[in-house]
Structure formats: structure tokens, C-alpha cells
Amino acid sequence: MLPSQVSLVVAGGGPAGFMAAITAAEGPGAAAGGEAAVVVLESTPEPLHKVLISGGGRCNVTHACWDPVALVGHYPRGGRALRGPFSRFATAESVAWFERRGLALVQEPDGRMFPSSQRSSSVVDTLRREAARAGVLLLTSEALQAAEALPGGGFQLRLRSGTLMRTTRLLLATGSHPSGHRLAVGLGHTVVPPVPSLFTLRLVDHPLVDLAGVVMDPAELELMTAGAPPRRHRQSGPLLITHWGLSGPTVLRLTAFAARDLKQAGYRGQLRVDWSGGRSLQQLQELFAELRRDQARKQLTNARPWPELSRRLWLHLLERLGVDGEQRWADLGRGPQEALIEALRASRYAVAGRGPFGEEFVTAGGIALGEVNLATMESRRQPGLYLAGEILDVDGVTGGFNFQHCWSSGWLAGQAIAAAGP
């Protein structure tokens, strides 16, 4: 028999929902008068599924960005608004929260943080164990179908199974799923239309297809979206050439910040790639002069301008420009040199759309942040309603930042609910 009256119902058994449920259940006054404390409704048979499959099965729990002011710079939407929440609960607090519960995190050279076991199941096991220990009731394959605010406070809920339940407080942590947006709209909220974020780019006629697998780090990207007015976006970092276009951390970050502009432009635009890693025109001219002097007898194909430049990419540029790679560096003319330098600094490619697999893991959009008190995650439109995680109009770049927002917003909501008492 399910309880007919509970203190808190959390709709959504993901990272934000679990963090909020555990925090609220551990706090004083979470339940009173015979009420059940906290109930989590998860519509699928498997809660925390996104945690389980993330990071290639390792779960990138957070990122070693310890300064909240720097941390907000990794959120294309919502960053400025998150300065307050992150000043209370951010990376250091998340790491400590998990370590107190027996889950150590380790930092990789690029700043990503994973469980020391290198298994995402360790994160799932920790959250499920702590929820059970706190007395949280988890209902799987059960979803919130409707929620009605009651005149005297609280909510009347109808579950997928047809069960009716009353709750003092309701937390929506349904991620980007339309069902959560529908419930929030029914309770007075506005949804910023979701669009894909963190995706790869497909190129027109893919002139780099033969270079699939090549990584350049760093490469500088400048995207000019189509349409009126065109929008310009820049990023720098590791770039991966794939069979369908361009990928890697830099492209994902670029598409995250350009998500809405790309959507408006039909995912069309012009991409300038600086393969030189930001070297100036003068630096490249001096470098080529040194090569003509120091590598004079070597063929162009056997002496790349710098060791980190992919040999496959260098040969591709020579062929694309019609430069004879078997000629000696001493014989390289001024015209071909200028063409090579221009190609290294500013190769241009037409963007045809997103990558073919729908691999975007995050959406940009959700409940408008102005409608939520970000100190408590309580709705400004409906007392007793809380919102946390990706249901909000907040999204981060790849590297653990989206999970960090889930931990932070979930913890803040749980703290506020526990402090409010029964």
C-alpha cells in the first residue's frame, strides 16, 4: 500500500532528484504526524540510468574547477545566475559529500573527476544506498501524471498507476523530458523552448573524410552561423576529425555556446579552423623561413612545419593546394608558401548540420530561471513547488559540469525543504 499523504514527492529519479531526496530526508522535520518522509517517482524501471551510462560507463561526476566564479563560465545558459548557488555548494562540496559516503573521486589531467573505481555503478550504488538509509521510498516504473495545487497548500497528485497521493511539497527533477515541462506549465511556469546542445558538426561534402581519426590540439575554431544576422562564436582546444565531420571537446563546447544561434540558422554556417594553434602570421612566416634554411634539402612531405602537426593533415593540405610535396623546402616559392600559411591559419569549411547519430546528451532550455528562487530552488509562481537539475534553463559544457549543476541544485532544494519543516 502506498502512503496517501507524504511530506515530499520528487518526480524524477535522476542525479538531481536523488540528491534532493537524500538531503531533504536527512534533514530535521522532513516528516511529521505519521507522514512518510520522501517518495521518489521514477518513470523507468532503472533509476539513475543517465548516471550509469555517462562517461563511457565511468561517470564524470564533476570537474576540478574549485572557484565558483570560474565554474560558471562553463555554462552557456544560466552561468551568471549560478554564482549564488555555487557559492554554497559547488565542486568542493560535491567531492566532500561523496567522500563522506565512502565514494572517493579521482582527478584526471584535464580536470574531469571520476569515481576511483572507474565505474559509474559505484556512483549509482552510493546514491541508492544513501537514499535507502535516509528512508526515501523509491517507486520505479511509476510517473507523475498530474499535479494540482490545493487551496490550503500542498498538492494533489495522480500517478501513472491511477494512485492518488497528497504531498506537502513537490520537487520536479524530470530533466529535459516534456512531461516535466508540461507539469511545470500546469503549475504556472514558462518553458524556454529546448534545443539540442553539445553535438558534433557535419561538413558539406566532408573534404576531411580521409583524415578521420586525426586529432589536433590545440585548434582554434571560429563559427559564423548562417541567417540574419549571422552570429560569431569562437573556441580553442582539442579537435577530432571523424567520418562525418568534426568532433572533440572544442566542437562540443562551440556547439553548446552556439546552440540557439545554430538552431535559428538551420544548423548551417561557415567554420574557420586555425590548425596552427593560434600562431600569428609573422610567427608562421618566420617558421617557414627557418625551414627553408635548416631543412633546405628535405622534401616538404618529410619535414612538417612543427612536430605536433599531423602528418596526414599536412599531406592533405599540400594536395588540396596543389603543392608538390616532393620538392625541397629550399625550392618552395613565395606563392605556395603564402597559400600553405593561409591554410594553416584559416582553412574554411561549410557546416551542413549536426552529426548523424543524435548524440547530443544535453538540451538547452527549460523552466525560465527568473521564475525560481535559486537560493532555495523554490518556485516563485507556486509555493511548495521546487525545481532542480536539467528541467531548468541551465546547461553546461562537457566535462562533468551538467552533473555538478544537478548536485548543487538538488542539494539546495533538499536543504530548503528540510529547513521548512513539515
- CB of 404 closer than 8 Å to CB of 90: yes
Name the grid cell of 261. Answer: 544561434
Query: Across residues 218-246, what is the average pLDDT?
Result: 95
What local confidence, expressed as pLDDT, does residue 361 receive? 62
Residue 34 has pLDDT above 90, yes or no: no
Name the grid cell of 137. Answer: 521510498
What local confidence, expressed as pLDDT, does residue 288 receive? 98
DSSP letter string, 261-272? HHHHTTT-EEEE
3-state secondary structure 190-226: CEEEEEEECCCEEECCCCCHHHCCCEEEEEEEEEEEC
Phi-psi label, residue 285: left if phi above 0, alpha if psi -120 to 50, beta otherwise: alpha
Rounded percentage of the chain residues whose pLDDT exceeds 90? 92
Distance of CA 313 to the CA centre of its chain: 29
The mean pLDDT of the chain is 95
- Report which of 38, 28, 95 is spatially closest to residue 421, judged by C-alpha positions: 28
Confidence of residue 358 (pLDDT cuts 50, 70, 90): low
What local confidence, expressed as pLDDT, does residue 374 receive? 98
What local confidence, expressed as pLDDT, does residue 31 receive? 46
Residue 161 has pLDDT above 70, yes or no: yes
Residue 378 has pLDDT above 50, yes or no: yes
What local confidence, expressed as pLDDT, does residue 2 receive? 78
Taking only the tens place, the pLDDT of each residue in 175-217 is: 999 999 999 999 999 999 999 999 999 999 999 999 999 999 9
Taking only the tens place, the pLDDT of each residue in 246-294 is: 999 999 999 999 999 999 999 999 999 999 999 999 999 999 999 999 9
Place of cell 511545470: 184
DSSP letter string, 381-409? SSTTEEE-GGGBS-B--TTTHHHHHHHHH
Residue 35 has pLDDT above 60, yes or no: no
Taking only the tens place, the pLDDT of each residue in 296-351 is: 999 999 999 999 999 999 999 999 999 999 999 999 999 999 999 999 999 999 99
Residue 16 has pLDDT above 70, yes or no: yes
Taking only the tens place, the pLDDT of each residue in 113-155 is: 999 999 999 999 999 999 999 999 999 999 999 999 999 999 9
What local confidence, expressed as pLDDT, does residue 188 receive? 98
- Residue count (the chain): 422
Rounded percentage of the chain residues whose pLDDT exceeds 70? 97
pTM, entire model: 0.90
Query: Across residues 383-389, what is the average pLDDT?
Result: 98
What local confidence, expressed as pLDDT, does residue 203 receive? 96
- Cβ neighbours of 254 (radius 10 Å): 27
| DSSP code for 97 | H
What local confidence, expressed as pLDDT, does residue 397 receive? 94
Residue 33 has pLDDT above 70, yes or no: no
